[in-house]
Structure formats: C-alpha cells, structure tokens
Structure 1
C-alpha cells in the first residue's frame, strides 16, 4: 500500500515537473550584434530558454572594421566567438543559421535549415549598405559593414600597390587613387587611416613608387563632414584631414561608378580602382510574412516600449528599429544599440512576471570619431564638444573598454603601440583572392 502511494505521488510530481519544464517560455534573439548580444546576456537570469541565432558564430566589433581594412589590426581581434561569450549561461543556446522569413501569426522562424517556434522574439539583425540607387555602386564599390568586407578591402588596397609597381603613367595613378564616398564617421575614419597607411607605412615598402602621387579623396554630398556633430567639430575634422593630405570635396553627389572611375553629378570623372562606400545604410531584417510598417532607412516602426505594433511578444532593436528620442530618430551607433538591447531584456522579464513593459529612454553618452594620429572628436553627453589629443585618447579608451575579450584588448593595444611608435601596421599581406575581378 505504501509503495502504491509513493508511486502515485511520484507520478503526480513527475507530471507537474514535466508541465513546468514544457511551460518555460522560449525567447529567440535573431542577430548577435551589440543589441542582440546585450539582450541575451541580460536575459540569462530570466526563467526562460534563450536561443541566439546568427549567420556567423562570432560577434563583430563593428567600430573597428576600418582598422582591419587599413591593416591596423588582424580580423580575429574584432571577431569574438559567440559560444565562448555564452558558455557560462546554462539557459542560453546558440544556432548558426540565417533566418529567411518570420511568421508573426504562428510565432515561427524559417531558417536555412529548420523551423523554430518562439514565445518572445527579438529582431536585432542590424543594417546593410544602402547604395542610394547609384548606378554601378552595388557591383563596383567596397562597402564596409561586415568583417568580410573589411578583409576584402584590405586585400584589395595592398593588391593595388602591388599592381602599381608594374605600371606607369595613368594606369599607375588609377591604382593609387582611393575614393571614399560619404563624410560620416566611417568615411572620416577610413580616410584618415588610409592616408596614414600610405604615407607612414607603405612608403617604406614601395620605394620604387612615388607615393606623393597617391591620392585619398573623400566625397561628401552635403556641405560638411560629420553632419550630426557640432559645426566646430566638423570644421576641425575638415582641417585635420586636409592638413594630412586628404582631398575633401563637398556638394557634389556621385551619379555613377564603374570598375575604373567615379562620375559626379556635374559630370566630373575621377579615374580610380578603389571606391569605398560609406554613404548610407538601411535596416537589414528577415522578411516578415505579415506586413510591417517601416520608416526612413527601411527601419521597422516600433512602440515606445520597442514592441512591434499588434505583436506584443515581438521586439525590434539596434539598426533594425526606428526609435525616436525627443522628436528625433536615433542615428544608429553602438551605445544606442547596447541600451536598446538592455531595455528589451528588461521588458521581456517584466512580461514574464505578468507586468507591463516600460517605455525606452535613451541616455546620450555622446559620440566619438577618430581622424588620425593624435586627432579625434567627441560630442560628450550630446552637449560638450571636445577635439584634439584628449578626444583621440578618450576614443582609444572607450573602444578598448568595450572590445570583448581580455586577450583581444591586450593585442589591440599592442597593435596601436606598434603603429604609434614605429609607424608600421600589423597586416600588409594579400592572403586570399576574395576580390571580384570587376573590382580590380
């Protein structure tokens, strides 16, 4: 009789536990950028199963892509393994896959290998290059949005110098002309770093070339650089770039590009083998089966709580979300993405406890850009403009602090010191033939 009661009690307890296990909510986060990874880490203490999905098995530290492209650092320094980042979280799993479509009604994701259901969904898939309908731009320019982009561009830059050695006259000048389209932070940082690569480093490796003929040209369609910064910082940036030899042109849009030239709106033609595209971005997200409202740059419109209208269990973060603060849209920088990811995690945990989500409120810590050695700009707290050596030093400190991995931070500092003291870059080899023939 006692055994029968014990058996009955065990069955009841087992069924209760099984019900409890199967009732654990499943949160799926698509995208392992700043917003997605922050959301996962903040959800790790929630009573939920967390699944992170990304097409790569590493997190890319996007702000330093231009340093990979210009040989400052090796690609591995800004690619942090996701499984290593998540190994201490027992309720978090990772799936390397690409999400093809989202069925919002049935709460299902269609990937390139399987279908996945969810209770809560976070779309944090970031952005991609927007070529602004410029003829030839998708085929013949080098965007700088992914680690693959950066490695391909670095290989191409070095390849151009190797080819220039075998040429002369106009052919050599074309190989040594580098055009950057877009005068935002990425364009400015790329221009300054490329100019330093040529005149501080490569000039020692290619004595047979007269690198005084090498040109770095920055094309800006508007009337100023860093248009979201105060005018004083824009003027400082322009002065620093021009003092270092970068040629900056304003108020002339790119009309068309080909493998051998850029054509401007006034029909000016510039011969070049390298066109680096930093002029625009747009949201990049899996196609929902149901229609969703989008705003500028194809970003998904969300509520103040970062939820998708009509779908309270779906959140959108980072560059995929259109979010306003004080009547102005967020511009899409890493600090914004980090705060968005943390706010979404907080709201999902509130929902798990049966409480209502709260509105997102962005705290503006500021924006920063590096121009070249000893020269940077920072708009601290969105109120205090700083420029020069102090801004440059703060930029370095901020990026070392946020870079994942102690080993990566140490190696990054070593690479920076090498460049600062000896004016020599870490990577100057062409490793793989990833460049398209039409980009040569």
Structure 2
C-alpha cells in the first residue's frame, strides 16, 4: 500500500488544476477526481455556443495534462458524498477513496431561483454539453424559420432571448446579433436576417453590475447599435416552450438562454458545513472548513470575503488564486515549511466582449473600451489557454471571423435535426470541427 500522505482533489477546473500543479514533486499521493475527462476553459465557452470555436480549442484531457506527474492519479468519476469521520470520499460507482487531505473544487451550476423546470426551456452555459446544445438550438431556429410559412411562428423562431445581463449574457447577446446579421446574411431565402430579434433581459437597473456605470452604459449602447434590445428593471416570471414572461409582458421566443445566476455544488451538504444562501461553504481565512483543517474548499464552491467585506467574485482568476494558495499551503505542510495563514484575493480586473470587435476592460484606475479593449481581452485569454496549438487555432479563428465574419464550427450534428432534440432513448454525439490531427472532444449525451 502507498503510505504517502493522501491528497484528494475533487474537480479539475481552474481551482483544482492550480492546486494540483503546485504539488509538483511533493512526496504525497495526489488523486484528481472529475465527472468529465477534460479541463475546460470556461471563459470562452460562449464562443463554442456561437460557432466561433470548436470544443477541442478550449478543452484538454486531464490525463494528458498530468501524464508526466508520477505522484498524480486521475479518476473519472462522480463524488456523491464525504465521510468526514472515516475520511473517505464516496463515488457514484460505489467505490470509496480514503484521504488525509481533501480539496473540494466542485464549482457551481445554474440557479433558476426555485424554478428548476425552466432549465428545459432556457439552458445555461457551464459545460461543453451546454454549449453544443445552445449552438444547436440557435442554428436550428434559423433552419426552422426557413421552412415555416406562418409569419407569427417565424417571428418567434427568429427571436432570441438571453436572461441575465452579466458578462456572459452581454457576450452571448452581442455575438448572436453579429452571427445573424453578418455571418448568416444572404444564406436564407424566406426571411431577411434583419428580421432577427435579440433581447437581453436583466432584472437589475443596469447590465454589467460588476463594472462602472460608465462602462456598463457604453456596453449597452454598443449592444443597441448591434440591434440588441436591452430590457432592464423587470425580473423573469415565467419560461416556457413559447417564450418568456418579463414582469407581466409575454415575449414569444423559441430560443432562450439562461445567464442569470449560479448556485454552488452540494459540497456543503457532503461535509455538513455552514453555507451561504447560494450553497457556498463558509470557509476559514486559510480556505479550510471550520472544524476540519484537513478539508479545503475553493472556487465557486467557497464563500470567501475580501478585507473590505465584499465577496470574492466567482471568476476564473479567483479560483486559480485560491487553488495556488491551497497548493502552496499543502506543500509547506508536507515539507515542513511555513504555512500561509490567510488567503488574500488580488483583483486583476474585469473584461467583457460586446460582439466580436468590441470590449470593455477595467483594471483598477485603468479603463479601456472599443477595439483596443477587444485586443487586450483577446491577448489575455490566449495567454491563459493551455498549449501552443490551442493558442494558435483560437487566434486564427478569431482573425478569420474578424476579417470575414465566418465561423468554422457552424455544424448541426445531432441526427434528429428538425426537431431540435435527440431522438427519444438514443445517444447522440456533438462532434465539432477541429484542425487536422487535433484531439476532438466527443460528448455523449
């Protein structure tokens, strides 16, 4: 039996990946557990949904990332519980794994504010499956509009509604508008792409609440110049197969996308830990669980406050910083070094695109908008991608789209294409375009 210190990291998102990377060459047995076999670069997930990038551009097999790390074991499995007394992790397969130190980096999922039934009609965007589902629905809406002779049904098919005015909602709304009016122009004969209607719904008084009012106002004006309707100040009260109700107003729309909120994974219930309203574990300053110094919670699963009392935002840089902190703490603990006492979040800035050629950037006092901001946004995202091939193919795809408004991953691959959903009881695959020799991610739904 392996008598080394046993570290289990559940979840290989930004936080889990960063923690594992910091444990290089440490005399410990590290086990990574994830429900999927790939690490996903979520900030660019909406570009898969919008046919700009393929899945292989933003996802990498976890085993490949750690193939040269002999102290790391990777397991494809789903954690369903934790026994804190016996220090064991329970898997859905029935297997149990013992740990000495446990790191929970299980992320978050969509929050429908008590209306989980809306998920069928308004999918969110967290996984590759979500992205390919949304892409299929959007592209099929155009195909069905080409076939439908009824002008009212066609109008509903050509109305796309994004619920939530944060960065994801703004990026989706702007990109759908440009997809319709630039990429698809001239490809359909029964309707004009000028008939396409894109509506962004935000319950708060303004969009992009994490940005300054000036930058949020610029983004809203830019969206409107692209043809996006921005509805503010009224919450969604109903989502259904025919559309969405905002306040008391019914909007007929066959394609809805949810970008309004998230809730944490059930990790707090697994370990019976105190949690906030969103289900995030309320951790100690060193990101450990109260009463359990051997358990750490990071990323979207953790409720962490900054020195001024504001919550640490649920962003990829925050998760990376937390993963790095915990990895360094464990390294110090296992090697006899000095353990850091408190996690301190360093906010590097906020970025959001508005369409394919515009963005807003805020980094402290430094604020930038327009095409220069878009270039900075692009450089920042390419820098954080994994591997030269991904950086090259993403940059090439953006350059191609920027010059010619063409998208390389605009394929509908599901068999039951006209219905917009897979046949009852059958498995379907969403396989994207990828450069020759690339590792293509096949997602079985």
Tell me whether the two structures share a fold, i.e. TM-score over 0.5: yes
Deviations 1:16-48 (A, max 9, x none): xxxxx8431010000010000111111122111
Structure 2: which 5+ runs fail to align? Answer: 424-445
3-state SS of paired residue (1:328): coil
Q: In 1, Cα distance between the equivalents of 2:251 and 2:422?
A: 20
Task: Quote the residue 1:404 is aligned against.
Answer: 386
Q: In 1, Cα distance between the equivalents of 2:184 and 2:270?
A: 51
Within-5 A mapping of 1:9-408:
22-113=2-93, 114-134=95-115, 136-167=117-148, 168-265=150-247, 267-286=248-267, 288-326=269-307, 327-354=309-336, 355-380=338-363, 382-408=364-390
Q: In 1, Cα distance between the equivalents of 2:102 and 2:117?
A: 37
Deviations 1:288-339 (A, max 9, x none): 4542100142111100100011000100010000000121101100110110
Deviations 1:253-276 (A, max 9, x none): 1001111111122x1000011110
Q: In 2, Cα distance between the equivalents of 1:123 and 1:389?
A: 39
Q: In 2, Cα distance between the equivalents of 1:156 and 1:139?
A: 12
3-state SS of paired residue (1:295): coil
Shift of 1:394: 0.7
Shift of 1:353: 3.4
3-state SS of paired residue (1:38): helix
Shift of 1:88: 1.6
Q: In 2, Cα distance between the equivalents of 1:359 and 1:419?
A: 44
Q: In 1, Cα distance between the equivalents of 2:383 and 2:339?
A: 34
Task: Give the TM-score taking structure 2 as reference length.
Answer: 0.90
Shift of 1:140: 1.4
Q: In 2, Cα distance between the equivalents of 1:384 and 1:276?
A: 32
Q: In 1, Cα distance between the equivalents of 2:52 and 2:67?
A: 30
Pick the structure with more helix per residue.
Answer: 1
Q: In 2, Cα distance between the equivalents of 1:39 and 1:254?
A: 38
3-state SS of paired residue (2:227): coil
Contact 1:351/1:357, CA 8 A, preserved across alignment: no
Shift of 1:219: 0.3
3-state SS of paired residue (1:155): helix
- Taking a change above 3 Å as real, the CA distance of residues 373 and 345 of structure 1, as seen in their structure-2 partners, is same
Deviations 1:181-229 (A, max 9, x none): 0000000000111111111111232233211111010000011111011
Q: In 2, Cα distance between the equivalents of 1:128 and 1:387?
A: 30
Deviations 1:354-398 (A, max 9, x none): 554421011111111111233111111x33222112211110001
Q: In 2, Cα distance between the equivalents of 1:54 and 1:433?
A: 29
3-state SS of paired residue (1:110): strand
- Number of aligned residue pairs: give it: 416
3-state SS of paired residue (1:142): coil
Contact 2:160/2:255, CA 8 A, preserved across alignment: yes
Structure 1: which 5+ runs fail to align? Answer: 1-20
Task: Please tell me whether Structure 1 or Structure 2 has the larger radius of gyration of its CA atoms.
Answer: 1
3-state SS of paired residue (2:186): helix
Contact 1:134/1:257, CA 8 A, preserved across alignment: no
Task: Give the TM-score taking structure 1 as reference length.
Answer: 0.91
Contact 1:99/1:286, CA 8 A, preserved across alignment: no
- Taking a change above 3 Å as real, the CA distance of residues 135 and 365 of structure 1, as seen in their structure-2 partners, is closer
3-state SS of paired residue (1:426): coil
